Structure 1
Amino acid sequence: MQPEPFERIYTARWADMDPNVHMRHSAYTDYAAQLRLEYLAEHGFPMQTFAKLAIGPILFREDTRFLKEIGLSEVIRVRGELAGLSEDGSRWRIVHTIFKADGRPAATITVDGAWMDLRLRKLTLPPAELTEAMKQLPRHETYADIVKNS
């Protein structure tokens, strides 16, 4: 059975606006990143734990599709779904959908990421508990296992 969607409600702030008085392009990715951090914290991996483990998430690719404008003080709903995961949990893909208050999608942000050892500055395998937390993220309709190249 599919877990409940992981979503949060936010209000678009003045600082999120551009000179056209709609949400600036980079604010969409800021909300996606915030959602990821909240998900990880709620599943046992707050930033303090990452600091103790000396690992952190990194992105290889970020793709944003803008669909509808978001205006000042507009309430938005952000959903995160797992779109891919490697068997060892080292690589992952997450699709974030930002919805307007009326339920229409305003944007999708797809990120491909991995885990970095912050001391060695190299990619690393995550602890088993972190891989398990990632597996608990609801799956996006496009989910496909990530097969790493040797």
Structure 2
Amino acid sequence: MEYAKTYTARWADMDPNVHMRHSAYTDYAAQLRIEFLAEQGFPLPRFAELGIGPILFREDTRFLKEIGLSETIRVTAELSGLNADASRWRIVHTIYKADGRAAATVSVDGAWLDLRLRKLTIPPAEMADAMRQLTRHETYADIERTPRPA
């Protein structure tokens, strides 16, 4: 399923050049991921109950077009990679201007952290199923686990 939301670029998102500051792009991408999980039955209190949380290993933003104050933007999330047990994932967000032109892409590699043990963990089956429902990005590739050298 395609997952997207529309937002309005706020004053707090602007930099001294009066266009959206670099870190606001990643803020909108993170907000979209949290909203997606909440709509799939995993709001923030549920994460606390389960004792797990999402973490990022990598975040890469490519800036394509300026976004100005009060401009309407559309943010999408597409799955770019997932391993068999859904413990590792890759998501590509595209942030579009109101006219449909891509303003930026935000790519993230992440996993699930057991908050008690402070170690990576496998998510509940329902969460794994939710992740699998995201539309696959054109760059999708299964994430294969490679053993660590001894």
**TM-score after normalising by structure 1:** 0.97
Unaligned runs of 5+ in 1: none
Aligned to 2:5: 8
Among 105, 109, 113, which residue is 1:108 paired with?
105
Aligned equivalent of 1:34, options 11, 31, 36: 31
Structure 2 residue runs without a partner (length 5+) = none
Q: Residue in 2 aligned with 1:56?
A: 53
1:26-79 deviation line (CA, Å, top 9, x unaligned): 000000000000100011111111000010000000000000000000000000
Amino acid at match of 1:130: M
Q: Give the aligned partner of residue 120 of structure 1.
A: 117
Q: Which runs of 4+ in 1 moved over 2 A?
A: none
CA distance in 1, matches of 2:11, 2:34: 22
Is structure 2 residue 38 aligned with structure 1 residue 47?
no
> Pairwise mapping of residues 94-105 of structure 1 onto structure 2 (< 5 A)?
94-105=91-102
Other-structure match for 1:70: 67
Q: For residues 56 and 112 of structure 1, what CA distance do their matches in structure 2 show?
A: 14
1:92 is aligned to 2:89: yes
Tell me the percent identity: 76
How many residue pairs get aligned? The number is 147
RMSD of aligned alpha carbons: 0.5
- SS for the counterpart of 1:26 is helix
Q: How far apart are the structure 2 equivalents of 1:149 and 1:124?
A: 16
Aligned partners of 2:137 and 2:45: how far apart in 1? Answer: 28
Counterpart secondary structure, 2:146: coil
Pairwise CA distance, 1:135: 0.3
Output the TM-score relative to the length of structure 2.
0.97
Question: 1:132-147 counterparts in 2 under 5 A?
Answer: 132-147=129-144
